[in-house]
């Protein structure tokens, strides 16, 4: 049976119900009548559309409390870009809340007519941003990865975003074809000696704008959870003061990059402090507060997309 002739799946029904509710403006009773289902089923389908990310809602009204937090963060840290969105609540996953605001920030650059090189990190927040991104034609720009895309088992890194964005915006893209973290410094050097890798590294270092996630280096560190560092390596870096990481590069509470641990073997390009161009961090959550604070204090990042609770916690540290 062809795809056209196939019966609609439950996800198809959820997508249709979500579109009718959020785009067409129908009530749940109207959706039930349109689809020939009960009101209760219509309600469940609309909820499923949101839960599975089939529908993305963007808030057009800028809430006053968020604007005040943005201003406070800009004034305190000299940020050149700052977006604060309403928090989903204590204990809730903040990534869906910040994803749409991050996508709006990225779209602002993608719509610029003059060619840009846009460098990108990885992670859940970056993946959420890409999923919320609107398809468009942005062939004038180049997208380049800051971080290797090969996992320890040889597979492609799950949270790599360069190719996903390129599919949505039709832009030329340059993945970093090296391990996220090489087994030895010598193997890292061998990868970086390759001509194609050198050219991607040079392109990333000269990027006009940078978008990165910010990872914590506590016991729930993403680098540990995703298998890029061992427990022993994490312990070693924590003993040296590890607080956060950006594009796989680990730094302490003052935002100084460490000279130990996996930093000697990290395969990508480090985001240097005090760049004279936008370096925007996409991050939220209580566990990330110390890492975000260190990154903006040292100006590893000079822009931030976060939520209310995180913004308040950061300001409470100042």
Q: What is the pLDDT of residues 185-199, one digit of tens each?
A: 999 999 999 999 999
**CATH label, 64-316, candidates 3.40.50.1360, 3.40.30.10, 3.90.1640.10, 3.20.20.70:** 3.40.50.1360
User: Could you tell me the pLDDT band of residue 141, with boundaries at 50, 70 and 90?
Assistant: very high
Where are the chain's structural domains?
10-51, 64-316
Tell me which of 11-20, 119-128, 226-235 is least confident. 11-20
Sheet holding 209-213, edge to edge: 81-85, 303-307, 279-282, 209-213, 117-120, 142-150, 173-179
Q: Both ends of the chain: CA-CA distance in Å? A: 63
Tell me which of 4-13, 35-44, 49-58 is least confident. 4-13
Q: What is the pLDDT of residues 226-280, one digit of tens each?
A: 888 999 999 999 999 999 999 999 999 999 999 999 999 999 999 999 999 999 9
3-state secondary structure of 257: strand
The predicted model scores a pTM of: 0.82
CATH topology of domain 10-51: Arc Repressor Mutant, subunit A (1.10.10)
Mind giving me the DSSP string for 202-222?
HHHHT-SEEEEE-EE-STT-H
Q: What is the pLDDT of residues 53-112, one digit of tens each?
A: 777 666 665 578 889 999 999 999 999 999 999 887 777 888 988 998 999 999 999 999
pLDDT cut 90: percent of the chain above it: 67
Looking at residues 123-140, what average pLDDT do you find? 92
């Amino acid at each position: 049976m062809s795809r056209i002739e196939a019966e609609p799946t439950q996800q198809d029904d959820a997508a249709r119900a979500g579109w009718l509710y959020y785009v067409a403006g129908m009530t749940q009773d109207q959706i039930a009548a349109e689809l020939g289902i009960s009101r209760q089923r219509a309600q469940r389908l609309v909820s499923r559309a949101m839960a599975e990310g089939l529908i993305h809602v963007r808030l057009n009204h800028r809430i006053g409390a968020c604007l005040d937090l943005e201003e406070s963060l800009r004034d305190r840290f000299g940020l050149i870009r700052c977006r604060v969105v309403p928090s989903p609540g204590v204990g809730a996953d903040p990534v869906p809340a910040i994803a749409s605001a991050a996508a709006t920030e990225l779209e602002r650059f993608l719509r610029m007519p003059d060619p840009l090189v846009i460098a990108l990190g990885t992670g859940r927040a970056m993946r959420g941003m890409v999923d919320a991104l609107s398809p468009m034609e942005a062939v004038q720009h180049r997208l380049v990865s800051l971080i290797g895309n090969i996992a320890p088992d040889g597979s492609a890194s799950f949270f790599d975003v360069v190719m996903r964005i390129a599919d949505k915006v039709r832009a030329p893209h340059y993945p970093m074809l090296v391990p996220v973290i090489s087994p030895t410094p010598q193997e890292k050097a061998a990868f970086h000696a390759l001509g194609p890798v050198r050219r991607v590294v040079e392109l990333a270092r000269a990027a006009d704008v940078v978008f990165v996630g910010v990872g914590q280096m506590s016991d729930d560190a993403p680098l540990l959870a995703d298998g890029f560092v061992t427990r022993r390596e994490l312990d070693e870096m924590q003993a040296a003061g590890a607080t956060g990481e950006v594009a796989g590069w680990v730094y302490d509470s003052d935002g100084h990059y460490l000279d130990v641990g996996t930093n000697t073997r990290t395969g990508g390009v480090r985001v240097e402090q005090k760049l004279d161009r936008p370096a925007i961090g996409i991050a939220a959550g209580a566990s990330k507060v110390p890492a975000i604070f260190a990154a903006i204090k040292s100006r590893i990042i000079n822009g931030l997309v976060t939520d209310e609770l995180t913004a308040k916690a950061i300001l409470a540290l100042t």
